[in-house]
Amino acid sequence: MISIRIRYWSWFRDLTGTDSEELQVPEGLQLGELLDRVRTRHPRLAEARNCTLAAVGVDYQPATFQLSPGDEVSLFPPVQGG
């Protein structure tokens, strides 16, 4: 198992009730699999399934990105402006 920190931004904090959490996940887990686990823990995030931006460290990554021990994953809702 490896430790991954997840940070929630903007209204994702309201949906999860926290700004961050640390999860223990199997080694070799991909980012997309982590997102599935997060949505299971926080079902209200499922409403943003198709528009969630995910960064590992400071770079956006695809769902196939393999996570490493100590990675920090940031989840962002779609950007709005006007």
* pLDDT tens digits, 15-70: 999 999 999 999 999 999 999 999 999 999 988 888 899 999 999 999 999 999 99
The pTM score is 0.90
State residue 38's pLDDT score.
97
State residue 49's pLDDT score.
84
Name the residue ranges covered by the structural domains of the chain.
2-76
Q: Which fold would CATH assign to domain 2-76?
A: Ubiquitin-like (UB roll) (3.10.20)
**Of the candidates 52, 61, 58, 47, the residue with the CA atom closest to the CA atom of residue 9:** 52
Which letter does DSSP use for residue 66 in this model? B
Q: Residue 48 in 3-state DSSP?
A: helix
State residue 48's pLDDT score.
86
What phi and psi values does residue 26 have, to the nearest 5 degrees?
Answer: -65, 145
- Tell whether the model's pLDDT for residue 80 goes beyond 70: no
